[in-house]
């Protein structure tokens, strides 16, 4: 009975009519047996412990303070969630030290388990279908934490950065860490004057007091946890507006050295590229745009929502607009429509790579067809490249080059099969069809079949799901590498290949 009483008190606050409902509940013998712990994972076979069961988060409010000199982060995370089962306890994914957890205002007990689980037992169990507010107070040094032997927190000479896929949240905020649970974000970060804090979305305000400046960022459309980012360092910030009216905020580390010019010459074209992509993918889905380059030693870029992360090294050989095209293409393919499970990664990477091929065509450096022909021809049948199935590559090959290149080749095969009219209708219609949600490779096949009026099972099986090189007849049928002579390497090939270290740990 005391357990039910707790639920009753909370309900009374949120719903005036709940008094009668609560009385009915009180009349029923409280069955503790119906309350069970939420699962420690959301159910993704690639990453069984990622995300959690039993609830769905709608909003993260992160109020943080970060000291660049020592990498000390302290914060209060307030999560607004809704239960999806009767919960006796539930997990968040997190690595830093927690000092207090409150659930619906009452102190909750908590402990840690596994590689990154924070197990929370609320004072009163939580009935299915009710709103829950979780407050977590925490602190720690993110760079001192590892899970599974790696870190996604990049310590820099001037601060730190959280950006990685499929996980980066554990190092800076507690979450339900899986793309299936998207939410909106307010990220407020206090940093010493002279340092800047960069995150997703719009910069609502900054304010300074006693040597510290608070940066208030808002990402007001559903965002997957791995697409949330935080960077503190010494940045030069540029602002602008796209022709279509979207505000642009870019940030460049002040220590990019010889890469500085090439980074800016690429990323300052963000607005132009986003407008160009919207001709293929439909209207840009967010109210903010940009990119940032911290002083990191990584080699990859990441499609952090509205404001991609770029590594300085990607500009070591000069400007590379192709990498900007790739990360901005993800704003539709990956961010607006997110994977249902990590096995669906082709929908992100195949299409971001294909956008680079379209850009190559736009720049007159090789058509998508020429790039597809070159991929097909340059990997002999015994190349392990063909053993990776882009449609279900396995966690160990999630970011294998085949997911990108064979993945984009499959898209060209689809284009040739259904024709340009249907193909470009699919390309533009898909982001709208599943906007702000999640979808699978099977959903994509069905959508392409609906739009084209053709059965595409054989095509998808051959190009995405067989661990072998599609044979010459299949290639001819899909108009791939039809010419008798070996295709030349397209002019854009090296620039595109320079973006290949896109997400590896």
Give the CB-nearest residue to Zn ion.
352
SS3 content of the chain, % helix, strand, coil (to 5): 35, 30, 40
Minimum CB separation of residue 451 from Zn ion in Å reads: 24
For the bound state, the minimum distance from the C-beta of residue 48 to Zn ion, rounded and expressed in Å, comes to 24
Return the number of the residue (158 or 405) whose C-beta is nearest Zn ion: 405
Euclidean distance between CA atoms 405 and 329, whole angstroms = 15
Residue 352 or 368 having the CB closest to Zn ion: 352
* Residues 373/481, Cβ–Cβ less than 8 Å: yes
CA distance 63 to 77: 6
CB of 356 or CB of 462, closer to Zn ion? 356
CB of 195 to Zn ion, least distance (A): 29
Q: Which is nearer to Zn ion, 174 or 407 (CB)?
A: 407
Nearer to Zn ion, 186 or 327 (CB): 327
CB nearer to Zn ion: give 35 or 359: 359
Select 101 or 388, whichever has its Cβ closest to Zn ion. 388
Contact pattern for Zn ion over residues 300 through 339, marking x by CB under 5 A: ----------------------------------------
Angstrom distance (rounded) from CA 3 to CA 295: 51
Helix (H, G, I), strand (E, B) or coil at 36: strand
CB of 175 to Zn ion, least distance (A): 21
Nearer to Zn ion, 201 or 350 (CB): 350
Nearer to Zn ion, 349 or 405 (CB): 349
Residue 236 CB neighbour total at 10 angstroms: 14
Binding of Zn ion by 502 (CB under 5 A):
yes
Shortest Å distance, C-beta 229 to Zn ion: 15
438-455 in b/e form (b: 16+ CB < 10 A) is: bbbbebbbebbbebbeee
Which residues, in sequence order, are bridge partners of residue 135?
Answer: 78, 102
The CA radius of gyration of the chain, in Å to the nearest whole number, is 24
Ramachandran area for residue 494 (φ above 0: left; ψ -120 to 50: alpha; else beta): alpha
Q: Which run of H or E residues covers position 413?
A: helix 401-433
What single string gives the DSSP state of each residue in 369-388? HHHHHHHHHHS-TTSGGGGS
Q: In this structure, what are the phi and psi dihedrals at residue 188, rounded to the nearest 5 degrees?
A: -120, 120
* In the complex, least distance from residue 399 CB atom to Zn ion, rounded to whole angstroms: 8
Q: Which is nearer to Zn ion, 22 or 368 (CB)?
A: 368
Pick from 165, 174, 162, 167: which is nearest to 199 by CA? Answer: 162
CB closer to Zn ion out of 409 and 418: 409
CA distances to 113, 170, 300 from 116, rounded to whole Å, are: 7, 7, 24
CB of 165 to Zn ion, least distance (A): 8
Tell me the closest approach of the beta carbon of residue 171 to Zn ion, in angstroms.
21
- Looking only at the bridges linking them, the beta strands covering 117-121 and 131-140 are unpaired
# residues contacting Zn ion (CB under 5 A): 3
Find the helix or strand (DSSP H, E) in which 222 lies.
strand 212-223
4-43 footprint of Zn ion as x/- string (CB under 5 A): ----------------------------------------
Told to check if 402 binds Zn ion by CB under 5 A, we report no
Indicate whether 87 belongs to the interface with Zn ion (CB under 5 A): no
What are the C-alpha distances in Å from 135 to residues 100, 111, 493?
8, 15, 49
Q: For residues 62 and 46, give the distance between their C-alpha atoms in angstroms, rounded to a whole number.
A: 28
- Closest approach, Cβ 348 to Zn ion, in A, equals 6
Min. distance of Cβ 328 from Zn ion in angstroms? 11
What one-character DSSP code corresponds to residue 335? T
**Nearest distance from C-beta of residue 154 to Zn ion, angstroms:** 18
In the complex, minimum distance from the CB of residue 480 to Zn ion, in angstroms, rounded to a whole number:
23
**325 vs 502 by CB, closer to Zn ion:** 502
Give the orientation angle of helix 18-27 with respect to helix 2-14, to 10 degrees.
170
User: What is the C-alpha to C-alpha distance for residues 331 and 350, in angstroms, rounded to an integer?
Assistant: 14
Q: Which of residues 339-368 bind Zn ion (CB under 5 A)?
A: 349, 352
360 has which bridge partners? none
Residues in touch with Zn ion (CB under 5 A) = 349, 352, 502
């Amino acid at each position: 009975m005391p357990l039910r009483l707790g639920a009753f008190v909370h309900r009374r606050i949120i719903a005036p009519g709940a008094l009668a409902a609560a009385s009915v509940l009180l009349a029923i013998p409280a069955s503790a047996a119906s309350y069970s712990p939420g699962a420690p994972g959301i159910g993704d076979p690639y990453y069984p412990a990622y995300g959690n069961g039993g609830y769905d988060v709608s909003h993260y409010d992160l109020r943080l303070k970060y000291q660049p000199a020592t990498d000390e982060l302290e914060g209060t995370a307030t999560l607004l969630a809704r239960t999806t089962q009767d919960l006796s306890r539930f997990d968040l994914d997190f690595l830093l030290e927690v000092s207090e957890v409150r659930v619906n205002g009452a102190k909750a007990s908590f402990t840690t388990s596994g590689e990154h689980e924070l197990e929370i037992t609320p004072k009163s169990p939580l009935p299915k279908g009710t709103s829950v507010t979780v407050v977590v107070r925490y602190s720690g040094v993110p760079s001192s934490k590892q899970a599974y032997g790696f870190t996604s927190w990049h310590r820099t000479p001037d601060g730190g950065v959280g950006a990685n896929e499929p996980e980066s949240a554990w190092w800076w905020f507690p979450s339900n860490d899986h793309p299936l649970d998207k939410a909106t974000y307010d990220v407020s970060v206090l940093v010493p004057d002279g340092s800047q804090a960069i995150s997703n979305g719009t910069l609502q305000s900054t304010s300074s007091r006693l040597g510290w400046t608070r940066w208030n960022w808002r990402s007001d459309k559903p965002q997957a946890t791995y697409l949330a980012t935080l960077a503190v360092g010494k940045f030069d910030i540029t602002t602008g507006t796209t022709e279509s009216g979207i505000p642009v905020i870019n940030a460049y580390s002040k220590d990019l050295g010889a890469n500085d010019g090439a980074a800016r010459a690429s990323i300052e074209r963000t607005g132009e590229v986003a407008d160009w992509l919207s001709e293929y993918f439909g209207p840009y889905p967010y109210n903010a745009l940009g990119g940032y380059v911290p002083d990191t030693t990584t080699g990859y870029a990441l499609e952090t929502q509205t404001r991609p992360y770029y590594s300085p090294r990607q500009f070591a050989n000069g400007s590379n607009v192709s990498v900007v095209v790739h990360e901005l293409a993800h704003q539709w393919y990956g961010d607006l429509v997110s994977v249902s499970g990590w096995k669906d990664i082709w929908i992100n990477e195949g299409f971001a790579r294909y956008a680079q091929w379209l850009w190559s065509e736009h720049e007159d450096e090789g058509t998508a067809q020429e790039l597809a022909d070159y991929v097909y021809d340059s990997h002999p049948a015994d190349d392990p490249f063909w053993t990776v199935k882009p449609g279900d590559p396995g966690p160990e090959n999630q970011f294998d080059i085949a997911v990108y290149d064979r993945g984009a080749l499959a898209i060209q095969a689809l284009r040739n099969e259904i024709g340009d009219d249907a193909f470009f209708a699919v390309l533009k219609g898909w982001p709208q069809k599943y906007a702000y949600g999640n979808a699978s490779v099977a959903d994509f096949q069905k959508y392409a079949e609906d739009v084209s009026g053709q059965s595409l099972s054989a095509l998808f099986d051959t190009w995405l799901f067989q661990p072998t090189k599609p044979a010459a007849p299949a290639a001819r049928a899909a108009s791939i590498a039809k010419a008798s002579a070996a295709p030349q390497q397209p002019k854009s090939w090296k620039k595109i290949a320079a973006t290949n270290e896109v997400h590896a740990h």
